[in-house]
Structure 1
Amino acid sequence: MSAKESLKQKAYYAIKEKIISCEYAPGAMLNEEALREELHVSRTPIRDALSRLEQEGLISILSKKGIEVSGLSINDINFIFEVRLLYEPYALLNYGSQIKDEVIYKYFDIFSAPAHAYSKDEYFRLDDAFHDTIVDAIQNPYLLRTYDWIHNQNLRFRVMTGQYVDYRLERTTQEHMKILTACLKHDWERAAKEMEAHLLASKNATFDLILNNKIAEIPRSK
C-alpha cells in the first residue's frame, strides 16, 4: 500500500470509528478543516474518506451546509431489522453447513455462561462476532456487500441503545443457545427458525423501549 493510500485508509477508518461509536453523534455537523487538523492529514484523504462514508450512508454531504452524520429514525431501525430478518435465517438455512463444528462449539461454550459473566462491552463484542460468523458463511459476495451496509448502522444503533438493554441480555443468551443447539445437530431449518425468533424478540424489545420514550428518536435529515 502506498503512503497516499495509507493516509486515505487512516482517515476513513478514524472517522468511521467515531461515527459508529457515536463520538460523532447522529445529526452532528462535521467540518472538513477540523477533521484535517484532528487527524493530521491533508484535504485529499479527508475528502476520499468522506466520499466513501457518504456511499455507506453514514454521512450526508449537504450543499452550502456541511457534513452531517446520518441520523437513525424509527424507520431506519425498522429497516435494519427487516434486512437482518431476511439475511441471518437465510444464511443458516442455506450456508449453515459451511460453519465448522469447532466454531459452533466455541460459541456454545461462550453462551453457556450467564450474560453477567461478561462486561457489557465484552458481551456485545461476542454477540456481534456470533452474528458475523453466521453471515460470513454466505458464499455470495453480492449479499455480503449489501449486508455490510446495514451492519455499520446496526453497530451505531447498538451504541445508542446499549444502556437500556440489560434485561435482554439473559434472554438473548437463551435465544443464542437455542440457535447453537440446532446448529450442533445440523438442523439448519430449526436454526433458521430460532434465529428469526431471536431477531423478532430483539426488534419487539427495541420498539417497546422506543414507544415508552426510553430511547429518543433521532430523525434522519431530509
Structure 2
Amino acid sequence: MPAATPPSRLQSRAYSELRRLIVSGEFPPGTFLSERQLAQQLEMSKTPVHVALERLEAEGFVSISAQQGIVVRGMSVEDIVDHYELREAVECWTVRRLAGRLSEPQQKLLQENIDQQQVALRDDDLSALMRLDGEMHCLLCSFLGNREIMTMMERLQDKILQVIIRVNHTDRTRPTESVAEHVQIVAAVLAGDGAHAADLMAEHLEAGKRRILNPSRFPAS
C-alpha cells in the first residue's frame, strides 16, 4: 500500500491557521465558512484551504454537507462526556505511572508551569491561564514518551478549549479552583503518591466537566 502523500507547506499552514481560528473562538460554533473567503483571508488558492477543511472535518472541528455547506461544529453533551471519560482514563493512569519517577528537569518544567499559572491567575490573564492549563496536562503526558497519547491529548485539548473559553469568561471562580487543583496534583506526583495523584486528577476533570455541563449552557430541549 503506497504511503500517504504528506501535506504541502500551504496545506499545513491553512490547516494550522484555520484550526487556530476555530479553537480560539474567533470562528465560534455555528459559523458558516466559505472556501473562497477563507482563501482570500489566508492569501492562498482554494486548493490548500479545501484540503485543510477536509482534515478539520475528519477531526470533528467542522461539518461539510451539500445542504448546509461548511459549518464550525460545537461540542454536544455527548461529545463532552466522551471527552472527559477518555481524558480521565488516560490522565489518571498517566499520573499514577509518573509519580515519583520524574527527572529533575521534568520536575522543574512542571513547577515552572505551576508558578506561571499562579502569576497569570494573579494578573487575571485568562488567555495565558488557559494556555498554561493545557500545557500542564500535555507536559505530564509527554513525560511518558508515548506519541500516540500525545497526539490524542493535543486533539482533545483543542476541541474542549472552545467550550472552556466560554465557561471561564462567564464563571470567574473556576480558574482559581482549577489552579489550586493543579497545585495539588503536581505535589502528589512529585511526592510519589500515584494513587492520590490519580484521585486528584479524576476529581479535577470531574469538576471541569460539571461546570461545562451546567444546565444554563445545555438546557433540556
Establish whether TM, by shorter chain, passes 0.5: yes
Q: Secondary structure at the match of 2:158?
A: helix
Whether the 8 Å CA contact 2:185–2:201 is kept in 1: the answer is: yes
Report whether the alignment pairs 1:170 with 2:181.
Answer: no
| Worse-matched range after superposition: 32-41 or 144-153 | 144-153
Name the CA distance, whole Å, in 2 between partners of 1:15 and 1:141: 24
Shift of residue 105 of structure 1? Answer: 2.7
Report whether the alignment pairs 1:9 with 2:15.
Answer: no
Compute the RMSD of aligned alpha carbons.
Answer: 2.3
Shift of residue 98 of structure 1? Answer: 4.7
| Worse-matched range after superposition: 167-176 or 88-97 | 88-97
Change (3 A) 1:15 1:140: same
Name the CA distance, whole Å, in 1 between partners of 2:132 and 2:124: 9
Relative to the length of structure 2, the TM-score reads 0.84
Report whether the alignment pairs 1:138 with 2:148.
Answer: no
Name the CA distance, whole Å, in 2 between partners of 1:114 and 1:44: 40
Spell out the pairing of 1:58-207 with structure 2 (5 A cutoff): 58-96=61-99, 97-98=101-102, 100-110=106-116, 115-207=121-213
Name the CA distance, whole Å, in 2 between partners of 1:111 and 1:147: 20
Q: Secondary structure at the match of 1:57?
A: coil
Among the aligned pairs, what percent are the same residue?
26
What do residues 71-98 of structure 1 show as CA deviations (whole Å, max 9, x unaligned)? Answer: 2222222222112211111111124535
Change (3 A) 1:14 1:110: closer
Shift of residue 107 of structure 1? Answer: 3.3
| Worse-matched range after superposition: 113-122 or 132-141 | 113-122
Residue type at the aligned position of 1:141: R
Residue type at the aligned position of 1:127: D
Hey, what does 1:56 align to over in structure 2?
59
Residue type at the aligned position of 1:72: M
Residue type at the aligned position of 1:150: L
Aligned residues: 211
Name the CA distance, whole Å, in 2 between partners of 1:159 and 1:187: 32
Q: Which has the higher contact order (CA 8 A, sep 6+)?
A: 1
Change (3 A) 1:143 1:104: closer
| Worse-matched range after superposition: 144-153 or 58-67 | 144-153
| Worse-matched range after superposition: 90-99 or 43-52 | 90-99
Q: Secondary structure at the match of 1:22?
A: coil
Change (3 A) 1:216 1:23: farther
Name the CA distance, whole Å, in 1 between partners of 2:218 and 2:26: 17
Runs (4+) of structure 1 exceeding 6 A deviation are: none
Residue type at the aligned position of 2:131: R
Change (3 A) 1:187 1:112: farther
Corresponding residue to 1:26 among 23, 26, 29: 29
Name the CA distance, whole Å, in 1 between partners of 2:83 and 2:127: 21
